[in-house]
Structure 1
């Protein structure tokens, strides 16, 4: 199939908005997980994402501690 055989794009692409599933959290839900391809995807911010590795948990803990003391780390 050639690109010239396709019809022109007539509508703009849809942007899906998904926010963290944690109650009272309004952060962008950029970490999603679905139990199967048939199930719907649940979304969380990184702080509330329940499937983090041990290393990811340690980095998050260090960043949260630094934020409490007013330090800014990347």
Structure 2
């Protein structure tokens, strides 16, 4: 199949929009988790993602400490 055989795209692709589930957080929910294929996926930003490893948690704390000191990330 080549690109010349394909029908013309008639509408733009739809984008799934999901934000962090943490109340009051308006960041993009790029970290998803689901319990089963029949359950809806829940989304969090990295800061609120509840399933981080210890190494990820430590890296986040260092990043937040640097940001709170006023240094540029």
The TM tier, using the shorter chain, reads: 0.7 to 0.9
Give the number of equivalent residue pairs.
71
Q: Could you list the runs of 4 or more consecutive aligned residues of structure 1 that deviate by over 3 angstroms after TM superposition? A: none
RMSD over aligned Cα atoms: 1.3
Q: TM-score, normalised by structure 2?
A: 0.86
SS state at 1:61 partner:
helix
Q: C-alpha separation between the residues in 1 aligned to 2:9 and 2:36? A: 31
Unaligned runs of 5+ in 1: none
Q: C-alpha separation between the residues in 1 aligned to 2:72 and 2:59? A: 13
SS state at 1:43 partner:
strand
Q: TM-score, normalised by structure 1?
A: 0.85
Unaligned runs of 5+ in 2: none
